[in-house]
Homo-oligomer: A and B are copies of this chain.
Amino acid sequence: MDSDFNIQLKVRDYECDMQGVVNNANYQHYLEHARHEFLHHIGLDFAKLTEEGTLLVVKRIELDYHLPLRSGDTFIVDCKTERISPLRFGFVQHIYRLPDRKLVLSGKVIGTAINRQGRPFLPPEIDKVF
């Protein structure tokens, strides 16, 4: 698992749907939480950036679902940064089930930063991360 950062989480039963597995949209929540924890780890606070008017926004997301998570499962969510273009940055992310480390999901999330007026604006502290 060659990644910059990872967190460990556990499935919460309300995240499962009538099929008895984690609902598709909740994996996006797991990925977001890992990205925000990564940002925090390197000194960037998503909530503080939001308050200051720097909005980090997702422009594109690609997710491949390999294996469903179930009630009781613990898992790892990782994230690795990737520069996409002058104004766009990316995260390559995976979810692995524990303890067998089977791949649950792989994803790519491309984002940008905008100001309150919706104009692209990549502050230096974000620019240097990617």
Contact = CB atoms under 8 A, between A and B. Distances in A.
Interface of A: 12-14, 16-20, 23-26, 28-29, 32-33, 36, 40, 45-47, 50-51, 55, 57-65, 68, 70-72
Given A61-B63, A65-B58, A72-B45, A18 B28 contact: no
Nearest to A33: B12
A33 B60 contact: no
A25 B18 contact: no
A4 to B, nearest CB: 19
A68 to B, nearest CB: 7
A97 to B, nearest CB: 14
A24 B28 contact: yes
Contacts of A46: 13, 71
Contact of A36 (B13, B36, B58, B62): B13
Contact of A47 (B20, B24, B28, B60): B20
A24 B65 contact: no
Contact of A25 (B26, B45, B50): B26
